[in-house]
Structure 1
Amino acid sequence: MKRIQHFSVAILSLLSSVDAVKPLVDLGYSNYQGKVLSNGVTQWLGVRYAAPPLGDLRFSPPQDPLNNDTVQDAKDWNFICIGTGAASSKIGTTQSEDCLFVNVFAPSDATKDSKLPVFAFIQGGGFNTNSSPYVNGAGLINAGDMDMVVVTMNYRVGPYGFIVDGDKITPNIGLHDQRKALKWVQKYISKFGGDPDHVMMGGDSAGAASVAHHLSAYGGKDEGLFHAAAAESVSFANMLTVKESVYLYDNLAIRLGCVGKNALACLRSKSALEIQVANYNIPYPGAAAAPLYMWTPVIDGDLVPDLTYKLFEEGKFVKVPAIMGDDTNGGTVFTPKNTSTLAESDAILKAQFSFLTLEQLGTINDFYPNKNDTCPNSGCYWRQVSDAYGELRYMCPGIYISNAFTQHGVPNSWNYLYNVEDPDQMAQGLGVPHTVEVYSIFGPEYAGGDPPVSYLEGGVNEDVIPVIQGYWSSFIRSFNPNTHRDSASVKWETWTKKRKQRIVFETGGVTKMEKISKDLQKRCDYFASIGPSIRQ
Structure 2
Amino acid sequence: PDRRCTAASPGFDIRSNHLIGPLLTEYPLELSLIKGHLQVSYGIVTAFLGIPYAEPPVGALRFQKPIPHQPWSHVLEASSFGNACHQPPLTGYPESDTWTPKMPQSEDCLSLNIWVPHPQPNGTAPILVWIHGGGFFSGAASLDIYDGRFLAATGKVIVASMNYRLGALGFLSLPPAAPGNVGLWDQRLALRWLWDNAAAFGGDPAHFILAGQGAGAASVGFHLLSPGSRPLFTSAVLMSGAPNAPWAWISLEEAKERGQKLGQQLGCSNDNSTALVGCLQGQEPGEFPKHEFSILNRKKQLGLPFVPTPDGDFLPDTPPRLLQAEHGQPMPIVAGFTANEGSYILLFAAPRFNLENASSIGWEEVLQMVRLIAPGAPEEAVQAVALRYSQDGEEQGEARYRWVMEQILGDYFIVCPVAEMARREAKAGSPVYTYHFAHRTSGLSTPEWMGVPQGSEVPYLFGTLASVGGGNHTEAEEALSRKVMHYANFSPRRNYIAVQQALQLRLSPTRGRCGARTASSMNAASGSGATAASGGQKSEPQPFCSRMYFLWGQNFFEWPGLQNSTRSKSSSLGQSGAHGAAGGTQTGVQNG
TM-score (norm 2): 0.76
Pick from 448, 463, 468 the counterpart of residue 479 of structure 2: 463
The Cα of 1:66 is off from its aligned counterpart by 2.7
CA contact (8 A) 1:41 1:106 kept: yes
- Between the aligned partners of 1:309 and 1:480, the Cα distance in structure 2 is 32
Going from structure 1 to structure 2, the CA distance change for 1:310 and 1:488 (only over 3 Å counts) comes to: same
- Between the aligned partners of 2:173 and 2:484, the Cα distance in structure 1 is 40
- Between the aligned partners of 2:28 and 2:372, the Cα distance in structure 1 is 47
Give the root-mean-square deviation of aligned CA atoms: 3.1
Query: Which residue type is aligned with residue 283 of structure 2?
Result: K
Q: Residue deviations 1:88-134, cap 9 Å, x none?
A: xx9996221111111100023215x4232110111111111125532
**Pairs aligned (count):** 499
Pick from 504, 508, 511 the counterpart of residue 521 of structure 2: 504
Match of 2:461 in 1: 441
Match of 1:525 in 2: 549
More moved, 392-401 vs 302-311 = 302-311
The Cα of 1:209 is off from its aligned counterpart by 0.8
Query: Which residue type is aligned with residue 212 of structure 1?
Result: G
CA contact (8 A) 1:282 1:291 kept: no
The Cα of 1:401 is off from its aligned counterpart by 2.3
Q: How does 1:400-419 map to 2 (within 5 A)?
A: 400-410=420-430, 412-419=431-438
Pick from 507, 518, 532 the counterpart of residue 492 of structure 1: 507
- Between the aligned partners of 1:354 and 1:63, the Cα distance in structure 2 is 41
Going from structure 1 to structure 2, the CA distance change for 1:310 and 1:338 (only over 3 Å counts) comes to: farther
SS in 1 for 2:488: helix
Going from structure 1 to structure 2, the CA distance change for 1:214 and 1:129 (only over 3 Å counts) comes to: same
Match of 1:32 in 2: 29
CA contact (8 A) 2:115 2:158 kept: yes
CA contact (8 A) 2:140 2:163 kept: no
The Cα of 1:350 is off from its aligned counterpart by 5.5
Match of 2:342 in 1: 331
Query: Which residue type is aligned with residue 174 of structure 1?
Result: G
Q: How does 1:192-207 map to 2 (within 5 A)?
A: 192-207=201-216
- Between the aligned partners of 1:415 and 1:443, the Cα distance in structure 2 is 20
Pick from 433, 440, 448 the counterpart of residue 421 of structure 1: 440
Relative contact order (C-alpha < 8 Å, sep 6+): which is higher? 2
Identity %: 23
More moved, 320-329 vs 381-390 = 381-390
- Between the aligned partners of 1:68 and 1:234, the Cα distance in structure 2 is 37
Query: Which residue type is aligned with residue 101 of structure 1?
Result: S
The Cα of 1:240 is off from its aligned counterpart by 2.3
Query: Which residue type is aligned with residue 56 of structure 2?
Result: P
Query: Which residue type is aligned with residue 522 of structure 2?
Result: F
Going from structure 1 to structure 2, the CA distance change for 1:198 and 1:129 (only over 3 Å counts) comes to: same
SS in 2 for 1:325: strand
The Cα of 1:445 is off from its aligned counterpart by 4.5
TM-score (norm 1): 0.84
Going from structure 1 to structure 2, the CA distance change for 1:199 and 1:373 (only over 3 Å counts) comes to: closer
The Cα of 1:345 is off from its aligned counterpart by 4.6
- Between the aligned partners of 1:179 and 1:487, the Cα distance in structure 2 is 35
Q: How does 1:70-219 map to 2 (within 5 A)?
A: 70-84=74-88, 94-110=104-120, 113-130=122-139, 133-134=142-143, 135-144=146-155, 146=156, 148-218=157-227
The Cα of 1:83 is off from its aligned counterpart by 1.7
Match of 2:301 in 1: 290
Query: Which residue type is aligned with residue 316 of structure 2?
Result: P
The Cα of 1:318 is off from its aligned counterpart by 4.4
Going from structure 1 to structure 2, the CA distance change for 1:451 and 1:472 (only over 3 Å counts) comes to: farther
- Between the aligned partners of 2:102 and 2:267, the Cα distance in structure 1 is 24
Match of 1:4 in 2: none
Which structure 1 residue ranges, 5 or more long, are not aligned?
A: 1-16
Query: Which residue type is aligned with residue 487 of structure 1?
Result: A
Match of 1:534 in 2: 576
Q: How does 1:210-229 map to 2 (within 5 A)?
A: 210-218=219-227, 223-229=230-236
Match of 2:565 in 1: none
Going from structure 1 to structure 2, the CA distance change for 1:317 and 1:342 (only over 3 Å counts) comes to: farther
- Between the aligned partners of 2:103 and 2:230, the Cα distance in structure 1 is 37
The Cα of 1:502 is off from its aligned counterpart by 2.3
- Between the aligned partners of 1:386 and 1:98, the Cα distance in structure 2 is 38
Match of 1:60 in 2: 64
The Cα of 1:320 is off from its aligned counterpart by 0.6
Q: Residue deviations 1:118-163, cap 9 Å, x none?
A: 101111111111255321222112222x3x2111111111101111
- Between the aligned partners of 1:84 and 1:272, the Cα distance in structure 2 is 11
The Cα of 1:296 is off from its aligned counterpart by 1.4
Query: Which residue type is aligned with residue 389 of structure 2?
Result: Y
Query: Which residue type is aligned with residue 452 of structure 2?
Result: V
SS in 1 for 2:426: helix
Query: Which residue type is aligned with residue 23 of structure 1?
Result: R
SS in 1 for 2:531: strand
